Amino acid sequence: MAHHASALKAQRQTIKRKARNRANVSKLKSAVKKLRAAIAKGDAEAVKTLLPLTVSEIDRASKKGVVHDNAASRYKSRLTRKVNALTAAK
């Protein structure tokens, strides 16, 4: 347990940051799961509406430092390729 005032403050800040990061990670994961589920179903209409929302969520998480910039680019690229393959097949 921390004893110094500065250490106690650092502990409080860490708890706040952890909660904020968890919320952002949760939003990101939920958006990606929804899009992947729509792709698995083959629902082209839902996919077209979910892709921009998911890409926006990925960019937001990247900006906040929740995921690395390269990881965000990779997510966007892979999801976009799957969506394009689905829409091309239809």
Task: Report pTM.
Answer: 0.86
Pair of tokens at residue 35:
């899009």
**Measured between alpha carbons, how far is residue 3 from residues 6, 7, 8, 37, 49 in Å?**
9, 7, 7, 48, 52
Indicate left, alpha or beta for 67 from its phi (over 0: left) and psi (-120 to 50: alpha): beta
Q: Digits of tens for pLDDT over the chain (90 positions)?
A: 789 999 999 999 999 999 999 999 999 999 999 999 999 999 999 999 999 999 999 999 999 999 999 999 999 999 999 999 998 886
- Position 22 scores a pLDDT of 96
Assigned CATH topology for domain 27-89: Methane Monooxygenase Hydroxylase; Chain G, domain 1 (1.20.58)
